[in-house]
Amino acid sequence: MQPIPEEAGVTAGPARSPVARLAPAFARGNLADRVYGLTLLAMGLTIPVLLAFLLFRVGVSALPALREFGWGFVTGTDWNPVESQFGALPFIFGTLASSLLAVVIAVPLAVGLAIFLTELAPRWLAAPIAFGTELLAAIPSVVYGLWGIFVMVPWLRRTIQEPLANTLGDTIPLFRGPAYGVSILAAGVILAIMIVPFISAVSREVLAAVPRVQREGALALGATRWEMTWQVVLPYATPGIIGAVILGLGRALGETMAVTMVIGNRPDITASLFAPGYTMASVLANEFAEASTDLYLAALMEIALILFGITIVVNTFARLMVWRVARRGGR
Amino acid sequence: MAGGAQGGAVSAPAAIQWRDRRRRLTNVVMLTLTGVAALLTVVPLVLILVHLFTAGLSSVNLDFFTRLPAPVGEPGGGMGNAILGTVFLVGLAGLLGLPVAIGAGLYLAESEGSRLANGIRFLTDVMNGIPSIVVGIFVWAWVVVSMGHFSAFAGGVALAIMLLPMVTRTTEEMVRLVPRELREGGLALGFTRWRTTLGIVLPAARSGILTGVLVSLARIAGETAPLLFTAFVNPYWGWSLDQPIAALPVQIFQYATSPFEEWHRLAWAASLVLIGLVLAVSLAARFLIRSPYKDR
């Protein structure tokens, strides 16, 4: 890393101290200002410190499992706490399958909604719809789960799973029965409902950042509204929308309560959307309190570590995408 | 696309006419589809709210707010302890998290261009994305293990960790919206930096910061996963930092996944109360507090 060049004119004070190099703005002025600056700096530093400590604490707790199973932990399919067999693949599969399904369902809806709100809807319509999606985002996860168990899952079983399993189930493995109701499909649908408001909110910001001139140019050339949106606005906003989608994926990956309540909690890997599954977050929620042996606990800790790692990678990638557009854009 | 038709038997104006009609049709169809998407996203909201009221409203009465949960099989009982517990935990999280979060937000807003600040800002966003269950497990490994038992304090710490990145970022954004001239005016009058910030900038950004704080508090009030292994559950009134404490979201989870009809009814009622609480706070934040600089 290159040293930050000292600002011209700042000669007084401990210009060479580490504080001056890291936070030049706070190393100047009288004693009170310096104390104030250092206090703020310390508060700012709690965030990286907490993150590092989290990684360390969970990592250390996971060590026994890391040593015992090595890579076999993420490729093993057998999860049997009674015999101290711990393979996490079914959970990794369940997390990825339900989250990806959620993204597939949510993206057309969220992007459609964002386009509708930024490009089309008159104010009197846009405001209440935007407000409604914000309310959706404010509903606690456990309430989604409650609604999922008692309303959505029975409905899905009756109107989607049973007819599909009875007709196409034998030919297409995705729809193979029996239709339990609780399933990867149910988890995907509830996750989709939960991430649509989020993806559309970020997408709207990105769409709003597309310069007006671009739109006016397209319209002036005789484009219809849809052509303007599809051929000019969307290509401009694509990286940002991809970022928004990946942020939504990050949410879905870590979502715990709603998924735990509707996915069925069975550590199987199957091709059928109608079969129960199990996610990393759900197994933590369900089994952490029961972990009776040290190895069991360490295995769960390692799952937490993997989940943490996946969400960090996904979120980092998404933030970079969103930033790229936001920096480029103007009104 | 339509260019191929021009060389054929169809005359050019007709081909263009056909193409234009198709373009207009595509326009109408696709724009209608975006409207349908908008409609579809609002449908679950309506369904959820309607069901909450029909299934939960009849069980929300005075007993629900004042009584302890009844044992299995006995009718009646309430969730007074869980409602109080949620308020207690959110208050504790605010006490622990807000000063640090607002300080960190000020730090980020005041160190423009600093590489360290950029790094911290990025990590704040990363922290915002940590699954809540992982936060719960971290606090278990840290606080619960060292205390030796579940406690309200551990629950408060877990919620404070959820709160920290949210409030840090909203505070930063709100402080940034304060016009530069105000700050410069303060400095020009000979105020020191800290007095300028605390006496001029912070009051100017106060309403915006308060909105962010209230919205964030409302959000953590609905969190379940961080509390499962920290605050745990408690069927009685909890007043002590040192003891497990009940919270509405955890109680809803427990009751919803139980096999008892009576408990399901109470879970709906509790959800209605929780949503009422969450929405009331976030709506109050939205409509009662207006930032003078928010609209630029």
Instruction: Verify that A125 and A43 share a domain, yes or no.
Output: no
Residue B9 CA, chain-centre distance (Å), reads 63
- Range A284-295 average pLDDT: 90
Interchain contact, B40 vs A109, CB within 8 Å: yes
- Residues in chain B within 8 Å Cβ distance of A308: 130-131, 134
Q: Which residues of A touch B129 (CB under 8 A)?
A: 247, 250-251, 254, 311-312, 314-315
Whether residue B47 is found in the same domain as residue B104:
no
Q: In sequence order, what are the residues at sequence separation of 6 or more whose Cβ sits closer than 8 angstroms to the Cβ of residue A273?
A: A101, A174, A175, A183, A184, A185, A188
Which residue, B59, B77, B102, sits at the end of a domain? B59
Are residue B146 and residue B262 in the same domain, yes or no?
Answer: yes
In a domain, residue A241? The reply is yes
Q: What is the total count of domains within chain B?
A: 2
Q: Flag whether residue A154 sits within 8 Å of chain B, measured between CB atoms.
A: no
Judge whether residue A7 has pLDDT over 50: no
Q: Which of B74, B44, B50, B59 is nearest to B270 (CA)?
A: B59
| Rounded distance between C-alpha atoms, residue B18 and residue B285, angstroms | 53
pLDDT of res. A5: 47
Do B266 and B130 share a domain, yes or no?
A: yes
Which residues of chain B make contact with A48, given a CB cutoff of 8 A?
A: 119-120, 123
Query: Do B163 and B117 share a structural domain?
Result: yes
Task: Examine residue A51 and state whether it is found in any structural domain, yes or no.
Answer: yes
A 245-274 near B (Cβ less than 8 A) = 247, 250-251, 253-257, 261
Picking from B19, B44, B59, the residue at the C-terminal end of a domain is B59
Which residue in this structure is represented by tokens 């060049």?
Answer: A5
φ/ψ of A277, rounded to 5, equals -140, -165
Chain B residue nearest residue A305, CA to CA: B134
The per-residue pLDDT string of chain B (296 residues; one tens digit each, 9 = 90 and over) reads 444 444 455 566 888 888 888 999 999 999 999 999 999 999 999 999 999 999 888 888 888 888 888 877 777 778 889 999 999 999 999 999 999 999 999 999 988 778 899 899 999 998 998 999 999 999 999 999 999 999 999 999 999 999 999 999 999 999 999 988 888 888 888 888 888 888 899 998 988 899 899 999 999 999 999 999 998 888 888 778 889 999 999 999 999 998 888 889 889 999 999 999 998 888 888 777 665 555 44
| Together in a domain, A270 and A151 | yes
Q: Which tokens sit at A109?
A: 């809806």
Residues B52, B70: one domain?
no
pLDDT of residue B12: 67
Of the residues A52, A69, A86, the one at which a domain ends: A69
Pair (B106, B12) in one structural domain: no
CATH number at residue A172: 1.10.3720.10
Residue B24: inside a domain, yes or no?
Answer: yes
Higher-pLDDT residue of A13 and B130 is: B130
Across the interface, do B114 and A312 touch by the CB < 8 Å criterion? Answer: no
One domain, residues B115 and B21: no
Asked if residue A5 belongs to a domain, the reply is: no
Within this chain, do residues A117 and A227 fall inside the same structural domain, yes or no?
yes
Is A323 within a domain? yes
pLDDT tens figures, A222-261: 999 999 999 999 998 888 899 899 989 999 999 999 999 9
A143 contacts B141? CB cut-off 8 A: no
Residue B164 within any structural domain of the chain: yes
Please tell me whether residues B12 and B99 are part of one structural domain: no
Please tell me whether residues A85 and A231 are part of one structural domain. yes
Residues A36 and A144 both lie in one domain: no
Is residue B293, in this structure, part of any structural domain at all? Answer: no
Both A46 and A100 in one domain: the answer is no
Domain boundary among B16, B39, B59: B59
- A positions 90-109 inside 8 Å of B (CB): 108-109
Together in a domain, A123 and A206: yes
Check whether residue B55 and residue B83 sit in a common domain. Answer: no
Residue A189 belongs to some domain of the structure: yes
Backbone torsions φ then ψ of A80, nearest 5 degrees: -140, 85
Nearest CB neighbour to B131, from listed A36, A113, A311: A311
Distance from CA of A261 to the nearest CA of B (A): 7
Is B295 inside a domain boundary? no
Same domain, B229 and B264: yes
SS3 A79: strand
Query: Is the model's pLDDT at A329 over the cut of 70?
Result: no
Q: Which residues of A touch B108 (CB under 8 A)?
A: 44
Chain A residues touching B282 at Cβ < 8 A: 138
Residue B239 lies in a domain: yes
User: Quick one: pLDDT at residue A240?
Assistant: 87
Q: How many residues does chain B have?
A: 296
Q: Establish if A129 touches chain B: CB-CB under 8 angstroms.
A: yes
Which residues of chain B make contact with A222, given a CB cutoff of 8 A? none
Flag whether A274 is in a domain.
yes
Q: Write out the E strands in chain A.
A: 79-80, 85-86
* Distance from C-alpha of A123 to C-alpha of A131, rounded to nearest angstrom: 12
Is A257 close to B103, i.e. CB distance below 8 A?
no
Q: Do residues A259 and A206 share a domain?
A: yes
pLDDT at B221: 94
Cβ-based neighbour number of residue A192 at 10 Å: 25
Residues A63 and A79 in one domain: no
Contacts of A315 in chain B (CB under 8 A): 125-126, 129
Q: Is B296 part of a structural domain of the chain? A: no
| Same-domain pairing of A166 and A199 | yes
CATH number at residue B85: 1.10.3720.10
Asked if the structure places residue B211 within a domain, the reply is yes
pLDDT at A22: 57
Domain of B39, in residue numbers? 3-59
pLDDT digits (tens, 9 = 90+) for A40-86: 999 999 999 999 999 999 999 999 999 989 888 988 888 988 888 89
Separation between Cα atoms, residue B80 and residue B67, nearest integer Å: 5
Q: Is residue A239 part of a domain?
A: yes
Give the closest residue to A197 by CA, choosing from A119, A136, A240, A255. Answer: A136
- The minimal CB distance from B111 to the residues A23, A57, A145 is found for A23
**A182 DSSP 8-state letter:** S
Contact A144 B48 (CB under 8 A): yes
**Number of Cβ atoms within 10 Å of the Cβ of B87:** 14
Closest Cβ–Cβ partner in A196, A200, A308 for B130: A308
Chain B residue at shortest CA distance from A43: B104
Same-domain status, B128 and B165: yes
How sure is the predictor about A9, in pLDDT bands with cuts at 50, 70 and 90? very low
ipTM: 0.89
Q: Left if phi > 0, otherwise alpha if psi is -120 to 50, otherwise beta: which for A303?
A: alpha
Q: At residue A304, does pLDDT exceed 60?
A: yes
pLDDT over 80 at A104, yes or no = yes
Q: What is the pTM of this model?
A: 0.88
Answer positive or negative: Cα dihedral of A153, A158, A159, A160.
positive
Q: Do A148 and A55 reside in the same domain of the chain? A: no
Domain boundary among A37, A53, A69: A69
pLDDT at B158: 97
Tell me the chain A residues in contact with residue B157 when contact means C-beta distances shorter than 8 Å.
Answer: none
Which structure tokens are listed for A218?
């397209």
Domain containing residue A226 = 74-328
> What total number of domains does chain A contain?
2
Looking at the complex, does the CB of residue A208 fall below 8 Å from at least one CB of chain B? no
Asked whether residue A36 falls in the same domain as residue A132, the answer is no
Q: What percent of chain A has pLDDT over 70?
A: 89
- Give dist(CA A279, CA A288) in Å, integer: 13
- Residue B216 sits in the same domain as residue B249: yes
